[in-house]
Amino acid sequence: MSEEKTRDWLLSFQSHESGNTYFQKAKTICFTSGKGGVGKTSASLKFSKLLSDQGFKTLLIDCDYNLSNTAVKLGLPLDNNFFTMAITGKSFDEVLHKDGNFHLLPACNGSYELFDQSFDWAKIITDIISTHEQDYDFIILDSAAGLNKPALTLSAYCDYRFFVVTPDKSSITDSYSLIKILKNRYGVNENHLLLNKVSSKKQYCRLVKSLADTVDQFLSARLNILGGVPLKEGSVDEFDKELLNIAGSKIDISFSKMVKKFTEENIGTDVSLSASRPLFSGERIEQEVQSSI
């Protein structure tokens, strides 16, 4: 799809009235990783905001059920979340934070009472999704860190899994382990990769290619490459400010490129990257790495 055609196509979504959805049923995306501190919350928040800016009705569900950060990052009060909904009987609409097409369902933040409750939180979240999937274009899950059954169930349940990986070895091996379990236990063959905190183009190409090759060769699974986000030196506040408030910043541009790539490849009518001949997996990975820089 040409630059111009893509822009027109994306702009056409902005005219759809707030309240209506473009898709009949929401597409679900789970931001996951295994490891904490890699950027899942930042990335899921930014992705949700960018999709909603383009006119897609987007619900972000914070699944970090007792260490929720999404509301904190947005500077919102912490009094409403999906457990107040479960415990006090508040309605979904009452606990939702709404900002145009962007809706957020926060989770708890250090609630001691939660330790005494035995929630099946994977079921709570899949129930929320199935009840509201006709009201949204995208439902995005911000996963908690760690490898546990509810997190795996939710990842496998979603249409897309975005693995947020940083260049350190533990992040790469944790994500590989998660991809392996998803493949062997849940039959998940396809995931997406977002490399965060990247220091150089060379580092990006090397890591993305080696992870995609390894997943391809040893697991016979596909890792679709979304792109990379540069490491922002300086204080955490500066990163958060650039992430959410500075349009045209390096961080903003890298996320915008990924949203464009994802929407074009997965929901565009004219899928620009579909090859005219089948590619060998090594060739395809090389091509994807180059087109994602």
Ligand X SMILES: Nc1ncnc2c1ncn2[C@@H]1O[C@H](COP(=O)(O)OP(=O)(O)O)[C@@H](O)[C@H]1O
- The footprint of Mg ion (CB under 5 A) covers 40-41, 69
- Residue 258 or 285: which CB sits closer to ligand X? 258
Binding of residue 175 to ligand X (CB under 6 A) = no
Among 65, 163, 239, 262, binds ligand X (CB under 6 A): 239
Give the contacts of 52 (CB within 8 A, at least 6 positions apart).
58, 99, 100, 101, 102
Among 62, 137, 240, 252, binds ligand X (CB under 6 A): 240
What mask, x for binding ligand X by CB under 6 A, covers residues 255 to 274? Answer: --------------------
Of 119, 190, 181, 124, give the one whose Cα is nearest residue 148.
Answer: 181
Q: Give the type of residue at 191.
A: N
Of 39, 38, 40, give the one whose Cα is nearest residue 30.
Answer: 40
Pick the piece of the chain touching ligand X (CB under 6 A) from 36-44, 131-139, 183-191, 263-271.
Answer: 36-44
Among 78, 231, 244, 267, binds ligand X (CB under 6 A): 231
- Least Å from the CB of residue 176 to ligand X: 17
Q: What residue 58 binds from ligand X, Mg ion, none (CB within 5 to 8 A, per partner kind)?
A: none
Q: Give the binding-site size for ligand X (rule: CB under 6 A).
A: 18
* Site residues, ligand X (CB under 6 A): 33, 36-42, 69, 145, 196-197, 229, 231-232, 236, 239-240
